[in-house]
Structure 1
Amino acid sequence: MRTIGNVLWLVLAGWWLALLYALAGVLACILIITIPFGIASFRIAGYALWPFGRTIVISGNAGVFSLIGNVIWIALFGWGLFLGHLFAGLLLMLTIIGIPFGIASIRLAVVALIPLGTRIVDTHDAALPSYSRG
Structure 2
Amino acid sequence: MQGAFMGDVVLVIEGRDFSTRFGWMTLIHWCVGLCHAVQRLEHQDQHELLSPESDDVLRFIRVRDRLTVSASYVGQVAVTGFPEFSAAVNRFVAVKFGWIEQNYSRALLNPGMRGVYRRIGRTLPRGACGEG
Q: Which TM-score applies when normalising by structure 1?
A: 0.35
Name which structure has the greater RCO, CA cutoff 8 Å, separation 6+: 1
Structure with the bigger percentage of helix? 1
Q: Which TM-score applies when normalising by structure 2?
A: 0.36
Structure with the bigger percentage of strand? 2
